[in-house]
């Protein structure tokens, strides 16, 4: 019983209180460094857990069909977001690439390692393993992972960020649940993030691109 209470408390602190503190600006917390710190904590907990296999953190045990599905889905997302941006916010379309090509290239190189992968450690590998006693059913775990991942993005204080991460979070959670591969889901997350910044929608995720 005590273990369950502690897990619930930890869950509330990491996935509810942390985003709220950043969002309400009770005190200043740099977003990316804070995310990395929380991810390091989750990584520390995972590595101390004897029931967790550390090789899961960098694993290539997914098949070509799964990778092909991720790539095709990413291509579809790129097409849809390009059309959507052109239709709703044409002034944003590809502006990051055209106006700040060097910074765009830096983001393309760093995003997979300093944003996508840490988030997937926290919201997929850690959450699915750590809280399996709280959310035993796969469907419930996917729902919780999706909802908390989207909730994290309240820190950007705009509805597009919430909607996009709700949809993305569901796909990431499904991919991880099926493949059990942190590497595969990190690739998918990285591709979607790079697409968002390339199409111009990165303005909803980082004020510096506005």
**Which of helix, strand or coil describes residue 132?**
coil
* Residue of 166, 130, 128 whose CA lies nearest to 149: 166
What are the angstrom distances between the C-alpha of 7 and each of 13, 41, 76, 132?
A: 10, 14, 38, 10
CB 43 within 8 Å of CB 121: yes
**Angle of helix 182-199 versus helix 159-179 axis, rounded to 10:** 150
Place of tokens 């949809």: 167
pTM listed for this prediction: 0.93
In order along its 210 residues, the chain shows pLDDT tens digits of: 878 999 999 999 999 999 999 899 887 777 778 888 999 999 999 999 999 998 889 888 888 999 999 999 999 999 999 999 999 999 999 999 999 999 999 999 999 999 999 999 999 999 999 999 999 899 999 999 999 999 999 999 999 999 999 999 999 999 999 999 999 999 999 999 999 999 999 999 975 444
């Amino acid at each position: 019983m005590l273990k369950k209470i502690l897990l619930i408390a930890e869950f509330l602190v990491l996935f509810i209180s942390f985003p709220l503190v950043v969002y309400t600006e009770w005190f200043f917390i740099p977003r990316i460094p804070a995310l990395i710190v929380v991810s390091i904590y989750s990584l520390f907990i995972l590595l101390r857990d004897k029931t967790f296999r550390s090789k899961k953190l960098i694993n290539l045990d997914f098949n070509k069909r799964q990778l092909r599905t991720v790539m095709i889905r990413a291509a579809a997302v790129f097409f849809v977001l390009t059309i959507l941006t052109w239709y709703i916010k044409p002034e944003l379309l590809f502006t990051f690439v055209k106006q700040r090509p060097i910074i765009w290239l830096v983001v393309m190189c760093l995003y997979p390692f300093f944003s996508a992968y840490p988030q997937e450690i926290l919201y997929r590998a850690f959450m699915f393993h750590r809280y399996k006693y709280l959310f035993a059913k796969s469907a419930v775990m996917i729902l919780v992972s999706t909802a908390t991942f989207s909730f994290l993005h309240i820190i950007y204080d705009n509805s597009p960020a919430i909607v996009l991460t709700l949809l993305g979070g569901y796909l990431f959670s499904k991919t991880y649940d099926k493949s059990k591969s942190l590497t595969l889901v990190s690739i998918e997350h990285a591709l979607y993030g790079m697409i968002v910044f390339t199409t111009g929608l990165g303005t909803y995720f980082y004020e510096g691109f506005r």
